[in-house]
């Protein structure tokens, strides 16, 4: 983890992963500019008596697994991992848990920056309190819940669910920023540098390795959500209504109406007042597919080749710094020609992009449970092998809104 700087165990956790997910998203969009990463709101799965019964981990969405934990259905069958294995490993529900609404509510109640950009690996003598309900800790429960590759930090990004999960963690952080900080504070409020509380890799001015020359505090920039992406709201419902996705249902069994993941075929369904089953009915306490059940949403993708030559980018004109559009507007293309023509080609007119050039064209990240209901669906994972083939260089590309997954 030395090459990953402040990725874990301290205040840089959230800004580091914000930058990482952005770079992966842009690498995908070098192949298909219409692609964007949705977020996986795992609180929708925590509403089930047994979260592992969620339709998410079935052939209809992220794929099911064999008794040995190998993904054997859905779009990721025979998915070659970054560590060279031919299949993704999971152990969904064996340990851990999805995020709960209580986890989110705890974050939203915090008022101090060190309670959100938390000191999660302090040494004796650190004057700041560590709370095990902080977002870095509770986010780890979801890694454990998915299990397999997601369980281990070194292999977690083998599983595409990693990026959907961290897109949601970024969503939660942004909701807190909007609710509890002024616009100015969002960019400058960072926990103090203290080696008793976190390693120097987490200090605000330390390089955000391996994303040099960025610093950790640069990950607080408002430019991410001003210029690059926004988030669609979480799915909600009222009694008797729906959640806007065939993969969700409106549950009132616990009182207030809330959206919950539908249950995959063969799993227990007896606890609900309404039918919670995906593409079927609840019979004798189990979800049974109807005779008209749809086929899986997405055909399996072709695994990435082992050599990086068959995939060609559809776009070649980019900015390579998120501030390029702002700099260009202030006349830097003329004042600082050498630098700007090298790093800000699109904004300075050195080349002409196929996408609409603005100060960041918005990605609207939505819930995965809504995202995968689009017709025809454009799924990020259909071209995700590009991530294993190209450097994640953070180029600015055309964008849209991030939506919920499902």
The residue that leads in pLDDT, 357 or 149, is 149
Phi/psi of residue 86, nearest 5 degrees? -85, -10
Q: Looking at the predicted structure, is the pLDDT value of residue 41 above 80? A: yes
User: Which of 84, 90, 85, 52 is CA-nearest to residue 71?
Assistant: 90
Alpha carbon distance 91, 148 (integer Å): 5
Query: According to the model, what pLDDT value does residue 111 have?
Result: 97
Alpha carbon distance 399, 229 (integer Å): 7
Alpha carbon distance 218, 205 (integer Å): 9
Alpha carbon distance 340, 328 (integer Å): 8
Residues counted in the chain: 406
Alpha carbon distance 353, 330 (integer Å): 21
Query: According to the model, what pLDDT value does residue 366 have?
Result: 80
Query: According to the model, what pLDDT value does residue 143 have?
Result: 98
Residue 248, C-beta contacts closer than 8 angstroms, at least 6 positions apart: 44, 235, 242, 259, 260, 261, 262, 369, 406
Tell me the C-alpha to C-alpha distance, in Å, between residue 64 and each of 48, 73, 75, 87. Answer: 17, 5, 10, 12
Looking up tokens 């800790």 gives 137
Query: b/e map of 252-288 (b: 16 or more CB within 10 Å)?
Result: eeeeebbbbbbbbbebbbeebeeebbbbbebeeebbe
Domains of the chain: residue spans and CATH: 2-231 (1.10.1280.10)
Name the DSSP letter for residue 403: E
**Contact (CB, 8 A) for 303 and 79:** yes
Query: According to the model, what pLDDT value does residue 91 have?
Result: 98
**Contact (CB, 8 A) for 91 and 99:** no
**Contact (CB, 8 A) for 243 and 55:** no
Find how far residue 403's CA is from the centre of its chain: 10
Number of Cβ within a 10 Å radius of residue 303: 16
**Contact (CB, 8 A) for 232 and 401:** yes
Candidate ranges 4-8, 261-265, 366-370, 378-382; pick with highest mean pLDDT: 261-265
**Confidence class for position 295, pLDDT limits 50, 70, 90:** low
Alpha carbon distance 112, 11 (integer Å): 12
The residue that leads in pLDDT, 64 or 3, is 64
Q: Which tokens go with 252?
A: 């009132």
Q: Looking at the predicted structure, is the pLDDT value of residue 98 above 70? A: yes
Within 181-230, residue ranges assigned H as helices are 183-188, 223
Alpha carbon distance 180, 173 (integer Å): 11
pLDDT-wise least confident of 29-33, 203-207, 216-220, 274-278: 29-33
Q: Which tokens go with 128?
A: 């700041």
Q: Which tokens go with 73?
A: 């259905």
Alpha carbon distance 21, 113 (integer Å): 22
Q: Taking the model in full, what pTM does it have?
A: 0.80
Q: What's the mean pLDDT when you consider all of the chain?
A: 85
Q: Looking at the predicted structure, is the pLDDT value of residue 166 above 90? A: yes
User: Which of 288, 378, 363, 313 is CA-nearest to residue 75?
Assistant: 378
Q: Looking at the predicted structure, is the pLDDT value of residue 280 above 50? A: yes
The residue that leads in pLDDT, 376 or 373, is 373
Tell me the C-alpha to C-alpha distance, in Å, between residue 379 and each of 25, 253, 298. Answer: 12, 33, 8
Query: b/e map of 321-359 (b: 16 or more CB within 10 Å)?
Result: bbbbbbbbeeebbeeeeeebeebbbbbbeeeebebebeb
Alpha carbon distance 155, 158 (integer Å): 6
């Amino acid at each position: 983890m030395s090459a990953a700087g402040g990725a874990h165990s301290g205040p840089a956790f959230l800004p580091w992963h914000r930058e990482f997910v952005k770079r992966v998203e842009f690498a995908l969009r070098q192949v298909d500019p219409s692609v964007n990463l949705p977020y996986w709101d795992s609180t929708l799965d925590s509403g089930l008596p047994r979260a592992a019964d969620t339709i998410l981990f079935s052939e209809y969405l992220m794929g099911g697994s064999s008794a040995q934990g190998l993904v054997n259905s859905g779009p990721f069958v025979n998915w070659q991992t970054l560590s060279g294995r031919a299949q993704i490993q999971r152990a969904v529900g064996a340990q851990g848990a999805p995020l709960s609404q209580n986890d989110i509510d705890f974050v939203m109640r915090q008022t101090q920056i060190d309670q959100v950009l938390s000191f999660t690996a302090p040494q004796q003598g650190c004057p700041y309190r560590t709370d095990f309900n902080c977002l870095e800790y509770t986010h780890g429960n979801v890694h454990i819940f998915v299990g397999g590759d997601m369980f281990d930090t070194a292999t977690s990004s083998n599983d595409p669910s990693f990026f959907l999960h961290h897109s949601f963690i970024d969503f939660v952080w942004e909701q807190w920023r909007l609710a509890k900080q002024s616009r100015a504070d969002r960019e400058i409020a960072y926990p103090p540098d203290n080696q008793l509380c976190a390693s120097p890799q987490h200090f605000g001015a330390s390089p955000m390795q391996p994303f040099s020359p960025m610093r950790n505090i640069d990950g607080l920039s408002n430019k991410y959500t001003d210029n690059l992406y926004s988030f669609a709201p979480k799915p909600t419902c009222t009694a008797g209504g729906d959640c806007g996705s065939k993969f969700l249902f409106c549950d009132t069994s616990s009182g207030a109406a809330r959206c919950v993941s539908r249950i995959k075929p063969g799993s227990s369904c007896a606890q609900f007042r309404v039918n919670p089953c995906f593409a079927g009915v609840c019979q004798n306490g189990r979800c049974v597919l109807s005779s008209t059940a749809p086929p899986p949403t997405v055909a399996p993708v072709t695994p990435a080749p082992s050599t990086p030559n068959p995939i060609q980018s559809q776009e070649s004109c980019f900015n390579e710094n998120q501030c390029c559009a702002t700099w260009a507007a202030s006349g830097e293309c003329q004042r600082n020609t050498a630098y700007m023509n090298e790093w800000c080609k699109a904004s300075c007119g050195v080349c002409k992009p196929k996408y609409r050039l603005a100060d960041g064209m918005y990605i609207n990240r939505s819930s995965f449970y809504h995202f995968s209901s689009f017709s025809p669906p454009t799924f990020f994972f259909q071209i995700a092998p590009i991530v294993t083939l190209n450097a994640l260089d953070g180029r600015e590309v055309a964008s849209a809104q991030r939506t919920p997954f499902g």
